[in-house]
Amino acid sequence: MIELYHHNTSVCAVKVRLALAEKGVAWEGRYIDIIAGEQFTPEFAALNPKCEVPVLVVDGCPIRESTIINEYIEHAYPDPPLMPADPVDRANMRLWCKVPDDGLHFACADLTFAAHHRHRILTMSEADRAAFLASTVDPRLRERKTAAVMEGFATPFLRDAVQLNEVVFDKMEAQLGETRWLAGADYSLADIALTPYVNRVVMLGFGDDWRETRPNLAAWVERISSRENFQAAVNDWHPEELVTALRENGGRCRDDYAAAKVAA
Amino acid sequence: MIKLYHGTTSVCAIKVRLVLAEKGLDWEGEILNLQQGDQHTPEYLKLNPNGVIPTLVHDGNVIIESSIILGYLDEAFPAPPLMPTDPVLRARVRLWMKRVDDVLHAAIGVVTFATANRKVLIRKSPEDLAAHFARIPDPAYRERQRQSVEMGLAAPLVETAVRQYDKAAAQMEADLADTEFLAGDSWSLADAALTPYINRAEMLGMEGLWADRPNIARWFTAMKARPTYGPCIEDVLSDADRDRFDVPRDETDARLREILAA
């Protein structure tokens, strides 16, 4: 039996749901409300000491880390293949899969907290807000989250986050000028890995000019958004109010994002 | 034809040398001197834009990132297999490689710069030292190095590094409870990844981490007994390397015990 402990909008959970949907694997969902702190229960910590979603549990065996979960899914369910056959192309695919793990993930959190979550968090009582910010297990993430909430785009973390995003988008634009998908001729785990992060930026409205500035990336966004797995893994888990809120909150920060792109 | 751009003591390079040796592959090596900045030349940056070692070039194809190189070598040269067949154990191998990449690599870097590299770097004039730090492209890495060199074992980053290693050691001890190797009954990419990080820890005086962890002690003895260990790790050290790593190990040991007792 396959169980997935997950949350609706968590980027890493989206990654795994995309792979499961593409493979047509049936799974039972165990919803963890990370806004309410359900990831900190002793039961969940036993599955993942880092208290993060997603966790795939296969006949009682927990597998954590979304990049690793997706490699598991690929190996356990080889059809349809989500990896190139050639080892060189696989190495390139894995280099793309590493991009979120090497900084883009933190940058996405910075951006989302500064543009969107902070509005809700700043309405909390001081005690509740302090408790919420202190609850993040990873000390690096805790520091960045606090800065993003308390300072918004004014913190240097946001300048770095935006500029890292832009570097990644430039690399994607260049790659997609040479190959149809990130790791070659076929859709793969590389496209799956980048989808949630690019999609978050698109939902916030920061990719609105890509048809002119990054046409290859814009076309890739169209292609991944119209796949069946996107409907099942992304759209079905983003309620209308959230989609609207992300767009509106992102719209309010449009100038901040543009300024961060060029800040020293 | 396989060519590896690497360094004598580099933990990431050792991972790859071990796998090349265990696969019985012929390869040509080019040694980069990191202390002299060979990794920052324009020619090398064309191969590896991150300016780090190792880089593998196989029949003209450039592969970077040691964990990815390990996966590539296992797939391009399937015998002997270095990944378990069981998918759950395969995930365990990947988790170890990720833990090394995400946590242990920075941690051992901090302790290395606080001890062995510090010994060499503080001989530089203040201007030369400042210039050395200025050449480091990644700001986070630059700050870690600076704090480690300036403060030595007293650096707060050293405390973090020791605690991270201790957590990893607890997990290694658990994973080695019922099996000979980290991910089952055969040597795998997980063992390749962890060997240099335990070797480096021992070189610096951190073996207190497994004083009360008999499974790790047993595993490390077995790693050292493999025919590939000497040629890949110890035999490549230059005199300058041995001098650099001739550090007061008892001081690191004392600091480690102090941190873990707190």
Distance, in angstroms, between A197 CA and closest chain B CA?
19
- Mean pLDDT within A37-43: 91
pLDDT band at A55 (very low <50, low <70, confident <90, very high): very high
pLDDT band at A209 (very low <50, low <70, confident <90, very high): very high
- Nearby residues of A118 by Cβ (< 8 Å), 6 or more positions away: A148, A149, A150, A152
Here the tokens at position B11 are: 């933990």
Query: Is pLDDT at B104 greater than 90 in this prediction?
Result: yes
In this complex, do A90 and B65 lie within 8 Å of one another by their Cβ atoms?
no
Give the three-state DSSP class for A62. strand
Give the three-state DSSP class for B39. helix
In this complex, do A67 and B98 lie within 8 Å of one another by their Cβ atoms?
yes
Q: Which of B71, B90, B95 sits opposite A94 (nearest CB)?
A: B71
Residues from chain B that touch A71, judged by Cβ atoms under 8 A, are: 90-91, 94
Count of A-B CB contacts under 8 Å: 52
In this complex, do B71 and A90 lie within 8 Å of one another by their Cβ atoms?
yes
Residue B124, CA atoms < 13 Å, CB-side half-sphere: 16
- Nearby residues of A194 by Cβ (< 8 Å), 6 or more positions away: A96, A99, A100, A168, A172, A182
- Mean pLDDT within B228-251: 96
Long-range contacts of residues A99-106, Cβ cutoff 8 Å, at least 24 apart: A99/A168, A99/A193, A99/A194, A100/A11, A100/A67, A100/A193, A100/A194, A100/A197, A101/A67, A101/B98, A101/B101, A101/B102, A103/A164, A104/A164, A104/A165, A104/A168, A104/A197, A105/A11, A105/A12, A105/A197, A106/A140, A106/A141, A106/A144, A106/A161
For chain B, give the percent of residues with pLDDT over 70. 100
In chain B, which residue's Cα lies nearest the Cα of A103? B102
- DSSP letter string over A155-201? SHHHHHHHHHHHHHHHHHHHHHHH-SBTTBSS--HHHHHHHHHHHHH
Distance, in angstroms, between B98 CA and closest chain A CA?
9
- Mean pLDDT within B132-152: 89
Start-to-end CA span in chain B (Å): 52
pLDDT band at B117 (very low <50, low <70, confident <90, very high): very high
pLDDT tens digits along A91-108? 999 999 999 998 999 999
Give Cα B242 to chain centroid, integer Å.
16
Distance, in angstroms, between B205 CA and closest chain A CA?
27
pLDDT of res. B26: 98
Q: Which of A65, A75, A94 sits opposite B90 (nearest CB)?
A: A75
In this complex, do B94 and A61 lie within 8 Å of one another by their Cβ atoms?
no
- Asked if residues B29 and B69 have their Cβ atoms less than 8 Å apart, the reply is no
pLDDT of res. A70: 98
Query: Is pLDDT at A34 greater than 90 in this prediction?
Result: no
Substitution target from B52, B72, B82, B164 for chain A, most A beta carbons within 10 A: B72
Give the three-state DSSP class for A184. strand
Give the three-state DSSP class for A29. strand
A31 phi/psi in degrees, rounded to 5? -75, 130
pLDDT band at B138 (very low <50, low <70, confident <90, very high): confident
pLDDT of res. B141: 87
- Mean pLDDT within A52-73: 96
pLDDT of res. A25: 97
In this complex, do B90 and A72 lie within 8 Å of one another by their Cβ atoms?
yes
Distance, in angstroms, between A101 CA and closest chain B CA?
8
For chain A, give the percent of residues with pLDDT over 90. 89
pLDDT of res. A36: 82
In this complex, do A88 and B72 lie within 8 Å of one another by their Cβ atoms?
yes
**pTM of the prediction?**
0.94
Give the three-state DSSP class for A79. coil
pLDDT of res. B165: 98
pLDDT tens digits along A160-184? 999 999 999 999 999 999 999 999 9
How far apart CA A143 and CA A157 sit, in angstroms, is 10
pLDDT tens digits along B18-34? 999 999 999 999 999 88
The DSSP 8-state label assigned to residue B11 in this structure reads H
- Mean pLDDT within B121-150: 90
Residues from chain A that touch B76, judged by Cβ atoms under 8 A, are: 87-88
Residues from chain A that touch B72, judged by Cβ atoms under 8 A, are: 87-88, 90-91
Query: Is pLDDT at A204 greater than 90 in this prediction?
Result: yes
Query: Is pLDDT at B137 greater than 80 in this prediction?
Result: no
In this complex, do B88 and A58 lie within 8 Å of one another by their Cβ atoms?
yes
pLDDT of res. B258: 97
pLDDT of res. A46: 92
pLDDT band at B36 (very low <50, low <70, confident <90, very high): confident
In this complex, do B98 and A91 lie within 8 Å of one another by their Cβ atoms?
no
- Asked if residues A153 and A260 have their Cβ atoms less than 8 Å apart, the reply is yes
pLDDT band at B222 (very low <50, low <70, confident <90, very high): very high
Query: Is pLDDT at B96 greater than 90 in this prediction?
Result: yes
In this complex, do B91 and A71 lie within 8 Å of one another by their Cβ atoms?
yes
pLDDT of res. B187: 98
In this complex, do A72 and B64 lie within 8 Å of one another by their Cβ atoms?
no
How far apart CA B209 and CA A146 sit, in angstroms, is 33
| Rg, Å, chain A Cα set | 18
Distance, in angstroms, between B230 CA and closest chain A CA?
29
pLDDT of res. B186: 97
- Mean pLDDT within B224-234: 98
pLDDT of res. A102: 86
pLDDT tens digits along A121-157? 999 999 999 998 998 877 778 999 999 999 999 999 9
pLDDT band at B135 (very low <50, low <70, confident <90, very high): confident
How far apart CA B65 and CA B53 sit, in angstroms, is 8
- Mean pLDDT within A13-27: 98
> Would you say how long chain B is, in residues?
262
ipTM over 0.90: yes
Query: What are B64's strand-pairing partners?
Result: B55
A205 phi/psi in degrees, rounded to 5? 90, 10
> Would you say how long chain A is, in residues?
264
How far apart CA A112 and CA A237 sit, in angstroms, is 17
Substitution target from A16, A58, A65, A97 for chain B, most B beta carbons within 10 A: A65
pLDDT of res. A251: 95
Query: What are A2's strand-pairing partners?
Result: A58
In this complex, do A61 and B88 lie within 8 Å of one another by their Cβ atoms?
yes
pLDDT of res. B34: 85
For chain B, give the percent of residues with pLDDT over 90. 92
Residues from chain B that touch A87, judged by Cβ atoms under 8 A, are: 72, 75-76
Q: Which of A61, A72, A91 sits opposite B72 (nearest CB)?
A: A91
In this complex, do A87 and B75 lie within 8 Å of one another by their Cβ atoms?
yes
Residues from chain B that touch A64, judged by Cβ atoms under 8 A, are: 95
